[in-house]
A and B are shown apart, each in its own frame.
Chain A
């Protein structure tokens, strides 16, 4: 009796496993099939005819001819954004660590606002406030401001987390008891101890900046088109193969970044669990 029960429950468990696996595979297909179709379309001579028309890199070359400027601008912009978030974010994380807890919570909440509310609203506010300064509005700096607003919390948070984990305050006490001044402490004790947080934040900032659309679309001008703006442009006005080839270039740009982020996260988790042991 009891054995037949356990056999039956094992059978039920098995069925449940299979059903869940099928469901999960279906969801995976939903996520990945359109990506594969798009990659294929970007490499096919004529998508309507199908693969029989042959594979080609013609569309990628055409995208490069049409949109190389937007790709370069996105790369420059991401690097500039990284520089700004480093200059603003790392000291800010240190400040949040040191200032009163309630103030830190309020300031963090405030700095998070550009992430919490839709990018369109942030962009509109910027546009209505600074749109009349034509030199500023027409330059890529205008887009940079939007990107920095949006990515700054992603730099502050991991740096602050590391600072809290390694107990920066005690390290600083030790350094100051040895006679190090405040500025010296920041550059020789705090910064070198936060590299893992800074690296994690930097990868995130670059990835987000390269893919940012909602703010950028409102802030761009015909002369300051970024990669995602170019993507929207190609989807709306070019043939399917060109939009697909452009998407393929975008995927090739962000996939290494994503892989790095994942590796880095696993590495940090492993190191943290080792230090706990």
Chain B
């Protein structure tokens, strides 16, 4: 739901440029006053608290006594948790982009009866909070889930995967696919089909057309939505919380340090690092996709 916002944020769409004189005439003061309430709110409730969080992250970790950031980087348990979360999110982002690119291009290119129904099935889970996604994974792979019933039927043992790394992976994939579909479809619809026809008439087979024309054409969309999936997966607390996995992904580690151990420095340090990673991923994707769209045009 937030994807269009995240990929275009910070780059205001080209606005109709009014004459400089007209701008001056219409009172800059009004513009500043109009921004003041939102900025004051943001300053008081986000910026100052977050700066405080960053400072707190440098405080002494209550178990080792070292500064929080240093402890994250030197203790195996935190490093491992960071590594697992990054790898899991990367894998989810790549697979979600591949799956959604196939479905998105198919739905963009073919118009048939029931197409819009399929499209709404693929996109409406976008509004599900992480907890609901977690519950849906339990419906699939939990102790009373679909796979457990199937296993009972076929091999008379209950197959469960919801509470393992597989369950997390399935859940993250579930909320990632809808985030990609619409963007890929829009990019695919914008592509000039005459390029593909030209390539085909020059003798390129369909795989070559896909690899050399289609994928480069929609690459900006693939990169930017992939980054959004990565960032969302990195911070996915609700899904991991509902599944109650033993795998200590970073959001669960933060929650655990805060509520179970009251280790404020450590939870602050982990939050700041997590925020930095997701923010960097999104910023990088924005730059890459902007460059690619410039180069491609």
Contacts and interface: CB of A to CB of B under 8 A. Distances in A.
- Determine the main DSSP class of A at the interface with B: helix
A76 interface: no
Contact of A212 (B36, B129, B271): B129
A95 B49 contact: no
B5 A115 contact: yes
Nearest to B38: A92
Contact of B139 (A23, A41, A232): A41
Interface stretch (A52-60, A61-69, A102-110): A102-110
Interface string B255-279: 1001000001001100110110011
A213 B235 contact: no
Nearest to B2: A115
B128 A98 contact: no
B31 A258 contact: no
A120 B121 contact: no
Most buried by B among A98, A204, A228: A98
B38 A167 contact: no
B170 to A, nearest CB: 9
B1 A204 contact: yes
Contacts of B23: 98, 169
Interface string A9-53: 000100011001101110110111111011001000001100000
Contact of B52 (A110, A112, A128): A128
Interface residues of B, number: 92
B127 to A, nearest CB: 5
Given A121-B274, A254-B127, A152 B135 contact: no
Given A98-B34, A118-B251, A128-B52, A24 B132 contact: no
Contact of B268 (A33, A124, A254): A124
Nearest to B39: A107
B49 A128 contact: yes
Nearest to A110: B42
Interface stretch (B14-22, B63-71, B187-195): B14-22
Given A121-B274, A214-B238, A232-B131, A91 B35 contact: yes
Contacts of A105: 10-12
A256 to B, nearest CB: 12
B111 to A, nearest CB: 12
Contact of A111 (B38, B132, B206, B268): B38
Interface stretch (B73-81, B100-108, B213-221, B288-296): B100-108
Contacts of B56: 128
Given A92-B35, A99-B28, A204-B1, A118 B234 contact: yes
Contacts of A138: none
B99 interface: yes
Interface in B108-164: 110, 118, 120-122, 124-125, 127-132, 134-140, 144, 146
A75 interface: no
A77 B17 CA distance: 39
Contacts of A109: 9-10
A160 B50 contact: no
B135 A243 contact: yes
Given A94-B34, A98-B34, A114 B26 contact: no
Contact of B38 (A152, A247, A255, A262): A152
Contacts of A228: 129, 131-132, 238
A243 B134 CA distance: 12
A126 interface: yes
A250 B22 CA distance: 49
Interface in A130-157: 130, 145, 148-149, 152-154, 156-157
Contacts of B242: 232, 235-236
B38 A89 contact: yes
Nearest to B8: A157
Nearest to A255: B124
B5 A118 contact: no
A214 B130 contact: yes
Given A41-B139, A120-B254, A176-B26, A95 B31 contact: yes
Contacts of A198: none
A276 interface: no
A220 to B, nearest CB: 13
27 contacts: A12-B206, A23-B106, A24-B118, A31-B178, A34-B140, A35-B125, A48-B144, A91-B38, A98-B28, A99-B31, A101-B12, A113-B46, A118-B271, A120-B235, A124-B258, A126-B49, A130-B45, A149-B41, A161-B13, A172-B26, A182-B27, A208-B1, A214-B130, A243-B135, A247-B132, A258-B127, A262-B120
5 nearest A-B residue pairs (beta carbon):
A118-B235, A95-B35, A98-B31, A129-B49, A117-B275
Interface of B: 1-2, 5-6, 9-13, 15-16, 18, 22-23, 25-28, 30-39, 41-42, 45-50, 52-53, 56, 99, 102-103, 106-107, 110, 118, 120-122, 124-125, 127-132, 134-140, 144, 146, 174, 177-178, 206, 231, 234-235, 237-238, 241-242, 244, 251, 254-255, 258, 264, 267-268, 271-272, 274-275, 278-279, 282
